[in-house]
Structure 1
Amino acid sequence: MVGSCQRLVALRSIILFISLSFVFGDCTDSCVNHDCPCECYHKEVQCSNRSVTSVPNYPQHLNIQRLDLHNNYIANIKGQPFSQRCLKSLITLRLSSNNIKTIPANAFKGLLKVERLFLNHNYISKIKKDGFAGLKGLRRLYLNNNRLNKLHSNTFTPLKISLRLLYLHGNKIEHIPAKLLENFGNLKTLDLSGNRITKMDGRYFSTLPMLEYVMLSNNPWSCDEATICSTFGTFSKMQEQRHLDRVTTLHQAAFAKSPRTLSVYGGMACSSPQKRLGLSGVTLFQSMRCQDVNLTSYFGDIVTFGKHDAHTTKVNGTDNNAEIAIQSATVFLFCLLSFIIICY
């Protein structure tokens, strides 16, 4: 009688475990088969280093939140392979170290909850329009160490609200479109180091109020005066103003959330002109007189950097001399006219 009860309890436990696995999506050992050569740990599917050539099909009863497909031979992600029902709750997707060359339109459509997408160390050279459409919750995008040489203004538009960290280092990018990240209000980190960028207007970052870290080293910077003054001049003004805002906010309320400070990493060593080869852009900005270069500041008004006193005095002095000359000419004409009237 006791043995029968024990067997009955054990049978009920097994049935309960199987039921919970289907309800909560516990995928332990359930997707290890010919079509899905992966290992499963509750809500995580581990498919790395399996010589996989395409995105596997997973049992639809699963509730996968983490999918690791890195270090395989996946080259094609057309046909929306991530639209499977079991991936609706996916939070982390790793596709790094594969053979992906192109991000097609709507490649990740349906992955509304994905927060971290790893596409680094592939051969990506092209991102089609709407390549990131549907990724409404994406916070971190890793596109570093690919073969990107051109970005379009709308490449990251679907990520405007959610994106916090963008890693683009180790590519072949030569130019950053002016509106590529315009008004990305939550972007905190931008890594553009190790590309082929020669010039960048510092005003490019003025619409990124939450930006904290910018990495720009290991690019072949052209260090003409306008580029140096523009890039570092705007950075300097943004840093200064955010510091002032932070101090004011802390005085007003001890626990108020203060504005972000901005840190620019990398010496931005010059590649041209020849006379400035190897010099630091930061050092050059500190030594240059940038007062004649008009820039749009963080607030959109026109500002000039450097010492303004001498410049202002010169302008005011010119205006005063002009006024004196006009007054003298007026007096002379008046005297001449009076003399003519008296004589005749």
Structure 2
Amino acid sequence: MRLCVRGSMLKLSKAYTCLGGCNCSTDVVTSGIEVYCRGKNMHRIPAEALAREAWGSVVIDFGLNELSALPANAFRGQTKLKRLILDHNDIEKVVNKVFFKIVNVQDLDLSRNLMPKLPELFLKKLPKLLYLDISINKITKLPRSVLGRTVQLLTLSANGNMFRSIPQKLPTSLIEIQLANNAIKNLTSLDMDALYDLEHLVVLDLSGNGIEFIFNGVFSRLANLKVLDLSQNSLDSVSAATFDGLRNLEALFLQNNPTLNYIPATTFTNLPRLKYLFLYGCGLRSVSIPDTGLNVKYIWLFGNPLNCNCRLVSLAMYLQTSKV
């Protein structure tokens, strides 16, 4: 039996058959099987058939189905699996052992389900996990040890849940955290503790939370952060202390904070690498910019009720001299 994949002819075992109703192909590089059962109106995972007929899979996609539970033996024998996709289902509960046998998984997508919590040990056997997506569930918090063993995790996507604070004990390997559209109303010293050891973090998205207050220095340990998104919140003030320590920040998103009506001139003076500053859709009546110390190339200010007064002179001079 031969299968043409992306212009290459790959020889498959004669014993190989795809799961009924699903689509299968072969990865050109690894020769592993890719199983796509997406949108097949499935109510359960055919664990026995999966173990018998797709034991060499590198990708398994059960997204866009009607799965409500994952049995402990769902992925038995899938030792070569690299990517597991379970998004857009009705999964409410994940048992600890369901992922214990897929030790080589690097990408796990559990987004758009109904999970209120994650079991403490469910990622215990996934030391090679790089990307975890738990967005748009009903999760309120993560147990302190739930991600502790994912020592190589690079990206955590947890948008659209019910977190009230930044989860504690996150892997220090993380370079991107997505926590948009949760219920984080204030960034306090507890959030500062949560971010304390994340020295490799490059992207932090906290947009759409309704944040009203930011504890001074909460980001101070994020020396490598390049992108910070605080848009679509309810901030009424920021200062230089708000962004203390962000010496490598390049893009700052503050747009659509309607209660933000004034920004002190010194606010961005300790951000020497800042290039992109988003301030549109706020309540700013004036903007003061220092004469030196900034490297901003693009500023977005439309949609603010700016008053034409002396405080805008510094902005006009900055725009003229820096050719923004």
TM-score scaled to structure 2, two decimals? 0.62
The match for 2:277 among 253, 264, 267 is: 264
More strand by share: 2
Match of residue 108 from structure 2: 67
Q: Distance in 1 between matches of 2:106 and 2:242?
A: 36
Contact 1:112 1:136 in 2 (8 A): yes
Q: 1:199 to 1:62 in 2, by over 3 A?
A: same
Counterpart in the other structure of 1:320: none
Q: Which moved more, 1:37-46 or 1:208-217?
A: 37-46
Answer yes or no: is the 8 Å Cα contact 2:86–2:111 preserved in 1: yes
CA distance in 1, matches of 2:153, 2:313: 46
After superposition, where does 1:67-146 map in structure 2 within 5 Å? 67-83=108-124, 85=125, 87-127=126-166, 131-146=167-182
Distance 1:54 1:162, change over 3 A: farther
| Contact 1:38 1:45 (C-alpha < 8 Å) held by counterparts | no
Does residue 179 of structure 1 match 2:202? Answer: no
Equivalence map 1:283-322=2 (5 Å)? 287=312
Bigger drift between 106-115 and 207-216 goes to 106-115
d(CA) in 2 for partners of 1:148, 1:198: 15
Task: Tell me the amino acid that sits aligned with residue 128 of structure 2.
Answer: S
Partner of 1:335: none
SS of residue paired to 1:103:
coil
With normalisation by structure 1, the TM-score equals 0.59
| 1:63-115 deviation digits (Å, cap 9, x = unpaired) | 111001011111112524222x1x11000000001111223433321111110
Question: Aligned-residue CA RMSD in angstroms?
Answer: 3.8
Secondary structure class of the residue paired with 2:186: coil
Paired with 1:287 and 1:211, the residues of 2 have a C-alpha distance of 25
Of 168, 181, 185, which aligns to 1:149? 185
Q: Does structure 1 residue 190 correspond to structure 2 residue 228?
A: yes
Q: Contact conserved, 2:252 with 2:274, CA < 8 A, in 1?
A: no
Q: Deviations over 1:133-185 (max 9, x none)?
A: 14010010000011111222242334431111000111111001102101311
Quick check: 2:60–2:83 contact (8 Å CA) kept in 1?
A: no
In 2: Cα distance, 1:145 partner to 1:282 partner: 32
Residues 218, 30 of structure 1: alpha-carbon distance in 2 compared, 3 angstrom cutoff: closer
Can you give the 5+ residue segments of structure 1 that lack an aligned partner in the other structure? 1-9, 243-259, 291-304, 306-344
Runs of 4+ off more than 3 Å: 25-42, 278-286
Report the Cα offset of residue 51 of structure 1.
Answer: 1.6
Q: Which residue of 2 aligns with 1:165?
A: 203
CA apart distance, 1:234: 3.4
CA distance in 2, matches of 1:285, 1:112: 53
Q: Which runs of 5+ in 2 are unaligned?
A: 1-12, 17-30, 33-50, 63-69, 287-302, 319-324
Distance 1:283 1:81 in 2: 58
Which residue does 2:248 correspond to in 1? Answer: 210
Mapped to 1, the partners of 2:86 and 2:157 lie a distance apart of 14
In the alignment, structure 1 residue 234 sits paired with structure 2 residue 267: yes
- Secondary structure of the structure 1 residue equivalent to 2:267: helix
**Contact 2:178/2:205 (<8 A) preserved:** yes
C-alpha contact 1:221 1:268 (8 A) present in aligned 2: no
Cα pair 1:109 1:134 within 8 Å, conserved: yes
Equivalent pair of 2:99/2:123 in contact (CA under 8 Å): no
What fraction of aligned residue pairs are identical, expressed as a percent?
A: 23
**More helix by proportion, 1 or 2?**
1
Shift in CA distance, 106/35, structure 1 to aligned 2, threshold 3 Å: closer
Looking at structure 2, the residues matched to 185 and 55 of structure 1 have their Cα atoms a distance apart, in angstroms, of: 36
> Deviation of residue 208 (structure 1)?
0.9
